[in-house]
Amino acid sequence: MKSHELANLLGKMQEDINDVITNNTLELFRMFQSDSQDNAQVDKEADMHNAMINYLIYSSLNSRYKKLFDTSKQALDSGAETLDQDPTGVANQTLVLHDNGLFAFTKRQNKDGEMTALNDVLNNLARAGVEKTVVDKAVKDSTKPKKGNTYYDVKPSEDI
């Protein structure tokens, strides 16, 4: 199979998915109702209704397909292992783990990086004899507030 044939096949599949999404979006949008007599307000409420529909649809798709995507990567690694290939990536290299003449499974890993753990720095400073008060002041001066995660959810009003 050539790249353009695969692209056409996947493009057709994506069109089919988009058609289903469009049809369901329209069906859910038709349920919109407003009590307002002000057209500008109704438009704003309709936009919000549409935003909630999009959230519901795309969060559902993301949840489902993200899990399937992750599972498919695990299956590729397991399949490579069953074929006596080591699926562990090698830094800054692309490995061909399997080629069946139709598809090739390759794995590329970026160049390795470095990470510094604050606890390790603090322990090494203490071992080097740096006074605890100096270290504590440096940590306090370097500590910045971190905003908590925000979670979105849209559900039927009857469930609230």
Interval 48-96: pLDDT, tens: 999 999 999 999 999 999 999 999 999 999 999 999 999 988 888 888 9
Nearest to 53 by CA among 21, 77, 93, 78: 21
Look over the chain and give the mean of its residue pLDDT values, rounded to a whole number: 92
pLDDT greater than 80 at residue 160: no
Query: How much of the chain, in percent, has pLDDT values that exceed 90?
Result: 71
- The pLDDT of residue 111 is 86
Nearest to 83 by CA among 70, 95, 71, 68: 95
Provide the pLDDT confidence category of residue 43 given band limits of 50, 70 and 90.
Answer: very high
β pairing state of 104-109 and 93-99: antiparallel
Q: Phi, psi (5° rounding) for residue 37?
A: -100, -5
Provide the pLDDT confidence category of residue 157 given band limits of 50, 70 and 90.
Answer: confident
Using a 10 angstrom Cβ sphere, with 0-12 exposed, 13-18 middle and 19 or more buried, the burial of residue 108 is exposed
Query: How much of the chain, in percent, has pLDDT values that exceed 70?
Result: 99
What pTM does this model have? 0.72
Q: Which residues contact 56 (CB under 8 A, 6 or more apart)?
A: 28, 154
Q: What angle do CA 158, 20, 29 make, to 5 degrees?
A: 40
Token pair belonging to 99: 């080629």
Q: What is the average per-residue pLDDT within 145-152?
A: 87
Exposure letters 111-130 (e unless 16+ CB within 10 A, then b): eeeeeeeeeeebeebeeeee
How many C-beta atoms lie closer than 10 Å to residue 40's C-beta? Answer: 8
In a 13 Å sphere around the CA of 59, the CA atoms on its Cβ side amount to 11
